[in-house]
Structure 1
């Protein structure tokens, strides 16, 4: 945002979206690795206990719904103004980063 034009609504949105893409990539990789670990762990358990991979998937799906709803609300606070875009992207970036770090912490605990 320190670049020329970065203080415009478009510039802020572009910058925030770039960081969102970074965190989204980190989140997807952490989820993929953690899910593989959970599936391997489930393979050694009786069916009634082999739920780690499924609960991880369900948690992630619920989190996506929460993230989208919360960030939609953030955008609504701008009541249709031009700040809605950057507010929504900023929210998505922050929550995605937090979730990526959470999944990475879970995965690193497996090592």
Structure 2
């Protein structure tokens, strides 16, 4: 869901530079695996995209920046979806053992996720608007989506790991 909109922003004008995209998503995976749940948030987010922009021949063009950011966004979006589905399954199982008036965790998670999506989308639209139609709007929006998606994925992961 996130990727289609972000990719449309990033690739509004296709460029041959995209053929030279150098993204190594294993950097992020290794960082997340090595860090504890609390430590992963500040250190891992954006590592692959930043390296991609540094290493790609046209890494500082707005199209290339958007493509690098979008590639890492896809990784975090996958993690977010995995963590959300896992947490939802855990909460549904927990709720099943409770009286009806207490079986509310899964419903609140669903409501929170829907509200978070609206907040994320509004915040990132605001970030793009700050460029007033300039070419930096696309990387700004995708960078915002990347940051917020990664932070939320880690938040959900922490909830699955019993962090309160």
- Normalised to the residue count of structure 2, the TM-score between the two structures is 0.66
Q: Structure 2 unaligned segments of length 5 or more: list them.
A: 1-52
2:131 aligned residue: 78
Q: Structure 1 unaligned segments of length 5 or more: list them.
A: none
Superposed displacement of residue 59, structure 1: 0.3
Taking the aligned partners of 1:67 and 1:36, their CA distance within structure 2 comes to 24
Taking the aligned partners of 2:144 and 2:60, their CA distance within structure 1 comes to 18
Taking the aligned partners of 1:99 and 1:9, their CA distance within structure 2 comes to 25
Taking the aligned partners of 2:62 and 2:113, their CA distance within structure 1 comes to 30
1:34 aligned residue: 87
Superposed displacement of residue 90, structure 1: 0.1
Superposed displacement of residue 14, structure 1: 0.2
Structure 1 stretches of at least 4 aligned residues deviating more than 4 Å after TM superposition: none
Q: Does 1:19 align with 2:62?
A: no
Equivalent residues in 2 for 1:57-96 (5 A)? 57-96=110-149
Query: SS state of the match for residue 80, structure 1?
Result: coil
1:98 aligned residue: 151
Deviation per residue, 1:58-79 (Å, 9 max, x gap): 0000000000000000000000
- Aligned length, in residue pairs: 110
Superposed displacement of residue 109, structure 1: 1.0
Superposed displacement of residue 41, structure 1: 0.3
Question: Which one scores higher on RCO, CA 8 angstroms, separation ≥ 6?
Answer: 1
CA RMSD of aligned residues (A): 0.8
Deviation per residue, 1:55-108 (Å, 9 max, x gap): 000000000000000000000000000000000000000000000000000001
